[in-house]
Structure 1
């Protein structure tokens, strides 16, 4: 369904990442973990995860868009959003999309995000908190540098408040005072778990990351292939 949206606000998060709030002309019903398509042209529709959760979005859709200088694909979307905000015009989206939404299950959750893939797992985590889900939840967030973990403090506060929620930040390049994990986020997961057999696993990141996770976790950690979810799996 194509829907016109007002751009309510654009705020910098960190490291060329923008938080964008859209107000759709008609309400959008979606599930945690689904995404929308920003319509840039008739054959140019660009996917972004919905960072807000279905139960607490108050009619607005939140996006986290990483738009570094070398990323024209995202930069053009942010520019179009800014034009719509400044000119009081509209952006068109298609929503909802995606089959890798949060499933109802008693199995513990493992949420893995690379970079702005955090928006995918953020929707799920917020939904679980709002619904008072008490099963163990582990969120691993990987980035090149600490500054790309733009919701680091928020996540630390959530983990401190909820004993069943565990936040594990992982950076490839760490400053001297970094106390978290260093290296590849998938390796961090493998180091921390002897088995992933009991987990529902949700992954957001580059296609090669999602593919590597499925291959490595199934072969090395007994993960159930049919309990691993990522939008990438519809394409690879």
Structure 2
């Protein structure tokens, strides 16, 4: 039951070329930076990443993206990541953009053993009708586009069929975790982390504070340890290293 691994490098040592990774985080909040750096150190490439966004400010998944280690991204947001946009438009990266709520539910469904579900999100758009550019040819044309999705009518409304997602690995970050893998997330870091963790066949959690079993009130557990296979305790420096994407002050 003790799922603690000594180092992040040991925890991700079996990530190989072509592996799929569900990665928690939203912008710079709740990003498992230490585990991502450890994946970078493995040299693994041709990775398929499922995450809301693909890093920002040269941190998070941007480390793998800039190094050319990521072949495919399934996510919701490109935003201000200029390298992400450049690689996508140049045909160097395959990208499946998904409505944010649909992405969250596809991860949750995969972890819950639900193969597919219907949602109204995207009906009447290329999300459901097909034609979204997944890969460009580098010359302004589309090399690969999304296929149409099944649409059915329930109670007079149209819904598109979406499939649950599973990945080889999931990388997440939690504020607290015990040796059994029970996790607690802090504030906005409780974004895609629990959902990504559910989707991974092997889920690795980096925790800012490692506690003994029983120290977390069962009613306070956000993600039960059944979804977590490996736990890495961060050093105080790693736990405190939290970048701010957009600093604002009150005048």
Q: TM-score, normalised by structure 2?
A: 0.32
**Greater share of helix residues, 1 or 2?**
1
